[in-house]
Structure 1
Amino acid sequence: MDPAQPNTRTPLSVGVRGSDRPLLARHVRLTFCRTRRRRILMRPETVMVPNGSGADILELCDGRHTVDQIVAELGARYRTVPADEVRRYLTRLVDRRWVEVTDG
């Protein structure tokens, strides 16, 4: 654990909870790629191109929004957002160390 962020957990094998606050890992950055004309997730020597909803989820991973708030925000943008799919997506990113979560 990072002493500057004592409540940070990574990785999670059981999944994220609704009260968790996801944030991009320190070495990861979400940016817009002009060549691809879409957002990309970058970390040293690796680039991931998330689909549209994945990029929307990552955009809200700022450490302030809880997982439940992310689901609600996406639900306001789109008609339906399966909360379990958002949690599974975030859990995979936490397991890969792209995203960290803090206890809510």
Structure 2
Amino acid sequence: MSVDFKAVPRLAGGYRFQWEEAQQNHVLLYPEGMVQLSDTAAAVLSLCDGKRTVEAIVAQLEEDYETEGLDEDVTQFLMEAEAQGWVKYG
């Protein structure tokens, strides 16, 4: 299984990404509960807006973190996020 760099990820229906002040953490809220996110997971999911391609997300993160070679880490996370039902493509 791999991620198409031209695919456009977005949060799946029923999920909401937000900063949770009480937790001092970014979270994904859904009807059954909440997922606390690491800073890197939050950085990726914040860019999954249904407008950017995977390629654009990687480029933005590499710019933000002033590094290169994040494509494998980002695509691995997106595959896991899709498997969890957090992210959809289209």
TM (norm. structure 2) is 0.92
**RMSD, matched Cα:** 1.1
Task: Using CA pairs under 8 Å that are at least 6 residues apart, name the structure with larger relative contact order, 1 or 2.
Answer: 1
SS in 2 for 1:15: coil
| Structure with the larger helix share | 2
Shift of 1:47: 1.3
Shift of 1:16: 1.6
**Which residue among 68, 77, 84 is the counterpart of 2:64?**
77
**Which residue among 62, 66, 82 is the counterpart of 1:94?**
82
SS in 1 for 2:51: coil
Q: In terms of mean alpha carbon deviation, does 44-53 or 82-91 score higher? A: 44-53
Count how many residue pairs are aligned between Structure 1 and Structure 2.
89
Unaligned runs of 5+ in 2: none
**Runs of 4+ in structure 1 displaced over 6 angstroms?**
none
Identity in percent: 29
Unaligned runs of 5+ in 1: 1-13
TM (norm. structure 1) is 0.80
Give 2:29's aligned residue: 42
**Bigger-Rg structure (1/2):** 1
Deviations along 1:52-101, whole A, 9 cap, x unmatched? 11101100001100001000000111122521110010111111111101
